[in-house]
Chain A
Amino acid sequence: MRTGAQILWEALHREGVEVVFGYPGGAIMPAYDALLESPIRHVLVRHEQGASHMADGYARVSGKVGVAIATSGPGATNLVTGIATAMLDSVPLVCITGQVSSKFIGSDAFQETDITGVTLPITKHNYLVTNVDDIAKTIREAFYVARSGRPGPVLVDITKDAQQASTVPVWSDEPVRMRGYRPEHRAGSEDLSRAAELIDRAKRPVILAGHGIVKAEASKLLRAFVDKTGIPVASTLLGLGGFPATDPLALGMMGMHGESWVNHAIQEADLLIALGMRFDDRVTGKLDTYAVNAKKIHCELDPAEINKNVRADVALVGDVRDTLESLLGLVARNDHGSWLARISDYKGDSAVRDIQTMPHDGRLFAAHVMHDLWRITEGKALVVTDVGQHQMWEAQYYKHDHPRKLVTSGGLGTMGFALPAAIGAKFASPKDEVWVIAGDGGFQMTACELATIAQEGIKLHIAIINNGYLGMVRQWQQFFYNGRYSATPLKSPDFVKLADAHGLDGLRVTKRDEVEWAVERARASEGTVLIDFRVEQEDSVYPMVPSGAALHDMIRRPNPIVETAGDE
């Protein structure tokens, strides 16, 4: 006989779980008691939002299922932001929550929250377990659902009495079978041939590489496909690293803050090959002006994404790796020299407009930090970004050549994500040099996790891009609200002292020529180092496609040669 709590840990262990991120409380205490006998490592977070983001970062980097654990009521509701974040970016999580004993359910008992009700629309699936005999089977199903098909978060709410009760557990090694759940799809051979035909005939094709490339471990196949077809690759934010950014056929990021030539190339294309991406409004701009002359081949695992935003001429529903493998055998060897030359022309004066190449006047711009960081770490760091301007600058200037080296909240855009997600990322890949890049605003949302870093004794590198504003919102106010800065100026604590208070090292950088010194010092240090980069306060991210505008309608950084600063 084993208790439900013991069975829970055994079930997690059988799923290969090595580390969980959590926070105890009344309704989960039986599980925490049994934890003491489990080989699984538990990381005590400072806020349950941190637990779900850590599990998320862990999952994105390892490709495995991340696990978060919390008590009922407030513990469970604190997980919600992290669950919603994982849902929109298709990250496999299993969140375990304690629940009040079954006899109290529905009575508004102390710390009772209907967390399966709350998380219904933001989980792939969820369970309420009230019977000890269901724990083993449910955990197994939860892991299967979380990682199979289009991955996503699954929540398992277990009542306290189920954790306390005892039973003889039944373990199964059979593959999980669920009557209503068939996550696998495979593209049809006719559709594949039609796609290959379109690819062979195209004169101005562009590949749109999304998160699916990373998730499906399809980078090598994409490489082979590009080598054979000579088609250039544009990436979504979450697709960065799926194809080497420094490759001549890598165009860069598309969309709202994509490079101008990438967006122009998409608008001019006669064929878009979308691989594991879902045509989010941040990458298409105004839909009825989006790539109007292009046929679209949509390779996507989730049938519900087909024709949602953009009509597909050919839909290849299935794992993008299988799809690429099939296509690779069907397409002809090709090259697109004149099309590439044309895209090169779109670059026009982009270089002149780039803050990176503008004459150095001693001021420190965020772009400098990103570029220097990329140069010094030789593009090999695992970077975890928060949400805002710094996130876009990182995407533009840190060239990721490998998958799973950029972790960022794309779909939900969750501020406060970076620091906890980086902790999870570090547990997934302890050998990696992990950099947190966060804004002064977002960092403060989950800064309490500095204490977790200190307690766990892990080494991170933390770069705060401190511009004294909620910068991205300030930028919108500058562009679209007549420069009326409402609630965006931000006074922050002394981040160096804050690091110090946690027993971590803190540095401050105010000039460009100090960047290298600080970065090297952080790298050389034994423990976590936080660097407070005091950057130019009112810089904006360019190019920018205003929300609702056509993808080619970009606000560009003023050209310092032909325009006076301040012109748009």
Chain B
Amino acid sequence: MTNTRLRTYIMHVEDLPGVLNRVTSLFRRRGYNIDSLTVGRTEVPAVSRMTIVMEADDDAARRIEANLYKLVNVLKVEDTTRRPCVTRELALIKVRADQARRAHVLQLAEVFRARVIDIAPEAMIFEITGTRDKIEGLAGVLAEYGIVEMVRTGAVAMLRSAGAEAEVQEQPRTSAA
């Protein structure tokens, strides 16, 4: 089975020292390459939430899930790949733009709904939130003006349907078919 694609996992883990290390150590040890990883608090005390984006085929994806469940501090893992889900990422882009080109750059940014958060004589900083495609789109057009630096948060994701987030302890899918 191939079907290699970027996959987004949502994980709930116990908020304890070293848990992030356990998760990343697992990915490293099994040779999986993380595309992006974000961690933060949740609405539940002592539970953190991670969004992990990585490339994997169907088989590897199922095994990753099963391996993550073997970590004692992992509460819940969801592969969002085949489920309705919203994904957002935030980027700050500092672009070279003197007075002469500023208006033009601003116009472009407008198309992508990016916000200006800093203006200096030689450069300006945009803040953009959106999907990976949208951010890469903006970065692409700004590249012509010269990107001084860029920082991205990596994706955060949430399943669409209400109720899907109920506090359940899912077991990994075990059927082979």
Contact = CB atoms under 8 A, between A and B. Distances in A.
Q: Which 10 A-B pairs have the closest CB atoms?
A: A315-B176, A304-B66, A317-B174, A303-B66, A312-B176, A125-B72, A304-B67, A180-B75, A303-B174, A181-B72
A128 B17 CA distance: 10
B146 to A, nearest CB: 42
Nearest to B22: A120
Interface string B20-51: 01100110010000000000000000000000
A41 interface: no
Interface size bucket, B side?
20 to 34
Contact of A306 (B26, B69, B72, B176): B176
B73 A185 contact: no
Interface size bucket, A side?
20 to 34
A182 B171 contact: yes
Given A304-B67, A306-B66, A307-B62, A180 B175 contact: no
B169 A182 contact: yes
A426 to B, nearest CB: 32
Nearest to B21: A120
Nearest to B176: A315
Contacts of A103: none
B110 interface: no
A159 to B, nearest CB: 14
Given A128-B18, A303-B174, A304-B70, 10 more contacts: A124-B70, A178-B72, A179-B14, A185-B174, A303-B173, A304-B69, A307-B62, A312-B176, A315-B174, A315-B175
Contacts of A124: 70, 72
Nearest to A152: B70
A311 interface: yes
Interface of B is mostly: mixed
A180 B176 contact: no
Contact of A120 (B14, B17, B25, B174): B25
Contact of B175 (A116, A188, A311): A188
A450 B148 CA distance: 67
B176 A314 contact: yes
A315 B66 CA distance: 14
A182 B17 CA distance: 21
A355 interface: no
Contact of A116 (B13, B18, B67): B18
B171 A307 contact: no
B139 to A, nearest CB: 36
7 contacts: A120-B21, A121-B26, A125-B71, A125-B72, A180-B13, A185-B171, A188-B174
A191 B14 CA distance: 33
Nearest to A180: B75
